Amino acid sequence: MAAACELCAVAGGEVIFRNARLRIVLVDDANYPGFCRVIWNAHVREMTDLAIPERSALMQMVCQVEAAQREVLQPEKINLACLGNMVPHLHWHLIPRFADDAHFPHPIWASPVRQTAEDVLAHRRALLPALRAALLRHASCTA
């Protein structure tokens, strides 16, 4: 555990699934319902700090989350990002993207280019219970 590491201190979102190695969290982002992170539990900096079977387990779980997001949300695209510049504790962002989202076609960390209609966002938020169930089902396949 590194001093003052946010992802060692807190879950990093609503924990949907957790095993000995990693956890899946749902991120509370008003513009991006269904945004998930897969976070390695131990304080590890880079993918190459993991043994090959661990890398494989992590990427398999990333793919399971992506599958659940596609199934429930049917996005235009899923963005996968492993940045860690701010929090150098290994985690993958999985962001369902839609042509009408606030930043499309740019990364969500760019400047917004529009505001998504509130009813559209409400419709996507209404899918979150189904997404939670799908995430659990998919995570159990690989865990």
Q: Which residues bind Zn ion (CB under 5 A)?
A: 5, 7-8, 43, 89
Of 24 and 134, which has the nearer Cβ to Zn ion? 24
Q: How far is the CB of 3 from Zn ion (least distance, A)?
A: 9
C-alpha distances out from residue 116 to 48, 78, 104, 121, Å: 38, 17, 10, 7
Pick 7 or 62: Cβ nearer Zn ion: 7
Burial (0-12, 13-18, 19+ Cβ within 10 Å), 23: buried
Burial, 97: exposed, middle or buried (Cβ in 10 Å; 0-12, 13-18, 19+)? buried
Q: Which of residues 8 and 136 has its CB atom nearest to Zn ion in the complex?
A: 8
Cβ 98 to Zn ion shortest distance, Å:
31
- Provide, rounded to whole angstroms, the least separation between the CB of residue 25 and Zn ion: 14
